[in-house]
Amino acid sequence: MAKTRTVLRDKSAIRTDNNISRRRVLAVATVLAAGKAMGLGSNASVTAAAASAGGTPRSTPYRWTNVAIHGGGFVVGIIPHPTVQGLIYARTDVGGAYRLDPGTDRWTPITDWVGGPDWYLSGIESLAVDATDAKRVYIAAGMYSQPWAKTGAILRSTDRGQTWQKTNLPIKLGGNEAGRFNGERLAVDPNAPATLFFGSRHNGLWKSLDHGESWHQVKSFPLPQDTGGVGTVFVVYDVRSGKRGQPTPIIYAGASTPHGGMYRSTDAGATWHKLAHQPLGLRPNHAALAADGSLYISYGKQPGPNSMTDGAVWKFNTHDGTWTDITPLSPKKDRRSFGYGTVIIDVNNPGTVMAGTFCRWNGGDIIFRSTDGGKQWTPISPNHGGIWSVESAPWLNFHSPHPMVMNWIGSLQLDPHNSNRALYTTGWGIFETMDVMAADSGGPTHWKFYCDGFEETVVTDLISPPAGAHLISTVGDIDGFKHDDLRISPPGGMLNPNYGNNTGIDFAAHVPSFMVRVFGGRPVNGAYSTDGGSSWTPFRRGPRHGMYGRIAVSPDAKTIVWTAASGPWSGPSRAAHVTHDRGESWKACRGLKPGWQVISDRVNPQHFYAFSPHQGHIYISSDSGNSFHRMKRQLPRGGAALRSAPGQAGDLWLASSHGLYYCRTAGSEVSRISNIDSANQVGFGRAAPGLSYPAIFIAGTVNGVYGIYRSDDTGATWTRINDYQHQFFTIDAITGDPRIYGRVYLGTSGRGIIYGDRV
């Protein structure tokens, strides 16, 4: 039997049972109640003396708030509660899960406790609610199923996601893999709610008989070998076939195979049989069972989301076993390549069904609505009279006359308490209408972007200059943002011109209105700004094969060094190049090997630095980036983040898995900061009152406790400024604000940008 490890956290214990026994797993990670998800928490303060003595951390308050962008990522599922009006959940591929409470128009994140070593739980494979208990909610969490990935977990809550219990699974999940919008894989028996089924990617169907506390594999369920790692994608109960207090006998399940993936059980899941005469050649991805016994299924040739070249919608008559092709618009007839990603029914009106196309790139996706069981369909889209508003997120205009509102329709829902209300998801977020029934009489439907409080960007870099906008960011897919007001999505939208994935940004310390950023997918993949990020001019030329990566600019704005990379999320793999004429000409930096990231000194315009992860040495340039030579002092090998302290010539800080290192006089003097076990990121903010050295922020582990920490005294003592309710997944960028003491900005991998202020 596997051992159970207990770790004390904020007076509550997290126990992990790795062999999925029936022992109670007491793991609790608490998020704040509705309306307070970004509020205060109990934080730990660790000094060097207290840490070495094993002292109890002190408490210090911080307030955490999202920088407003709104949306920005793929929302893969919407799950309304069937008995509580206005209670809706949403899941994402990399940004955790959210809850919409009755009477509100703002989403609350319910997985912000995920962070540090548990980052992989931010990929939500599936989410399920209990129809008989509005307080119970379940999550299947785990981002990847690759050989190197960790196994997934079932998270369960009895208070609508304010606190959670965790059961580790012995299998891997893929919340950010192919078919991630398929579903729902996780389902609660509406007649016997202690029973749950979960469809996995590689290990068939799983069952729990104790509210998700323990699980076992259903050996009788088939294991198709041609699902492409997508596996069993949905479970649907026929509630009418059973009665309260007893397991529902008839259950349907769909596997992502083109060779007939629809299965039915008539004995509560004990045995399973493939449905006869079902369509072949396409993969089922969603199913909805209407009160009249019609089972609607959407199909795609591929599981999506990157491509879907064919698809259909079928109706299965559960009474007589007949199948009917009710596809609203066939790709062949439309002469376009696309599939169908979702289908849903109106529980209050048998025969009312809606479906959405997927990957219809040429012309945009379409939502179709039928009130006669799929005999006739009405299209809903901007090209068919629909009216869309993106006022809350101007970036959706993409600097063009037509906003992008119909892409990757992965989930579509009709409110079970209001048949006129519909919601659908895209690669950018959620849209809502309150008059979808207007389409039935030929009238226009009105939609709005419905992502207040919903932040799902993947942030790659952050800067907070001493003048102008307080924050400018680069993010995946949608460039980045200049935030003059952190509380609203920038009225000007994303950085302009927009290029897609942006991976690096910097400003000239003495001329902060001069900035540079890098991206990919263009002939020249870099640009500069002379007005604080309001407008950008592409470099006339770039280094050969130059794209993505990181970029640095000297304090006087005269020298730019670009360390290019091979892709948006991969590490730099090409040699650094330097320009002294704003991109008119480039030359390779002498003395550096490919992949060594270069940063600038924040005071001396002649000095640039690079760190060799293989050698563990800092390299310095004293001739404006033209050539570099190695410093003698040895540092730990491996990936690390090297940063220059603002206002301090030659002061460098290296955050690594081996700890935090302070390098003075351009790296010739090196000291390891005691009690810092490891550091992922390091950044700087305004000095504390009465002090001159900038405040230092790290994301890392101090005395065995992972968190966000601040030091006001050059690393002598450290204060933990976050708590276990506010961990925010993976921190990929961190910087303080040079104008506001204590403020820190966190760039996350899926929860957008978070900023923290002292209270």
For the sheet containing 502-508, what is the strand order? 502-508, 511-519, 526-529, 537-538
Q: Tokens 């004293």, residue? A: 622
Tokens of residue 23, six digits: 């022992």
Q: Which of 674, 97, 55 is nearest to 430 (CA)?
A: 97
Contact 23, 6 (CB under 8 A): no
506: annotated active-site residue = no
| Residues forming a β-bridge with 578 | 561, 587
Helix (H, G, I), strand (E, B) or coil at 33: coil
φ, ψ dihedrals at 711, nearest 5°:
-125, 130
What is the C-alpha separation between 170 and 182, in angstroms, rounded? 22
The helix (H) or strand (E) run that includes residue 708 is: strand 705-711
| Residues forming a β-bridge with 355 | 343, 368
Tokens of residue 691, six digits: 């002090």
- Distance in angstroms between the alpha carbons of the first and the last residue of the chain: 46
Q: Which of 701, 693, 756 is nearest to 46 (CA)?
A: 701
For the sheet containing 45-47, what is the strand order? 45-47, 717-720, 705-711, 695-702, 676-685
Residues 6 or more apart whose CB falls under 8 angstroms from that of 335 comprise: none
What is the C-alpha separation between 77 and 138, in angstroms, rounded? 14
How many CA atoms does the CB half-sphere of 292 hold within 13 Å? 15
Instruction: Please spell the DSSP secondary structure of 662-698, one letter per residue.
Output: EEEGGGTEEEEPTTEEEEEEEEEEPPPTT--SPEEEE
713: annotated active-site residue = no
Contact 520, 511 (CB under 8 A): no
Among 334, 477, 484, 677, which one carries the catalytic annotation?
A: 477
What is the C-alpha separation between 288 and 315, in angstroms, rounded? 10
Tokens of residue 419, six digits: 């048949």
| Residues forming a β-bridge with 746 | 734, 754
Output b/e per residue, 583-619; b: 16+ Cβ within 10 A.
Answer: beebeebebbeebbbbbbbbbbbbbbbbbbbeebbbb
Long-range contacts of 580-586 (CB under 8 A, 24+ apart): 580/624, 582/528, 582/539, 583/524, 583/526, 583/528, 583/538, 583/539, 583/540, 583/541, 583/542, 584/540, 584/541, 585/541, 586/541, 586/542, 586/543, 586/546, 586/562
φ, ψ dihedrals at 55, nearest 5°:
-70, 160
Q: Which of 176, 65, 162, 78 is nearest to 728 (CA)?
A: 65
Q: Which of 424, 121, 484 is nearest to 298 (CA)?
A: 424
Q: Which of 313, 357, 314 is nearest to 337 (CA)?
A: 357
What is the C-alpha separation between 329 and 26, in angstroms, rounded? 50
Three-state helix/strand/coil letters over 272-319: CEECCCCCCCCEEEEEEECCCCEEEEEEECCCCCCCCCCEEEEEEECC
Among 93, 238, 365, 732, which one carries the catalytic annotation?
A: 93
* Catalytic sites, residue numbers: 93, 477
